[in-house]
Amino acid sequence: MSTNGMESWALDLKDVGAIYPFQGSEVVMVIIGLVFWIGWHVLQTRHESAEIEADMAADRTGEETRKAIDRH
């Protein structure tokens, strides 16, 4: 038994198609991949909003901002 159905290379390569593991689950893998992609954007947006909120509360005197501007 193997995860791609192959247990030996003693064969003619023209008869071999896909060799990745768990063939037949491609649609499920695509769905998982799409969820990963959309989920990433959701998480990233939340993180960015939280960071901006923290930045808004920081440097009340503007001193650090002035220094940063001077550094160009």
The contact mask relative to another protein for 14-53 (x = CB under 8 A, - = no) is xxxxxxx--xx-xx-xx--xx-xx--xx--xx--x--xx-
Which amino acid is it at 57? Answer: A
> Which 3 state secondary structure label does DSSP give 5?
coil
For the chain, how big is the Rg over CA atoms in Å?
26
Which residues have CB under 8 Å from 29's CB, separation 6+?
22
The reply on whether position 65 binds another protein by CB under 8 A is yes
DSSP symbol at 44: H
Nearer to another protein, 10 or 72 (CB): 72
- Which residue ranges make up the site for another protein (CB under 8 A)? 5, 13-20, 23-24, 26-27, 29-30, 33-34, 36-37, 40-41, 44-45, 48, 51-52, 54-56, 58-59, 64-65, 68-69, 71-72
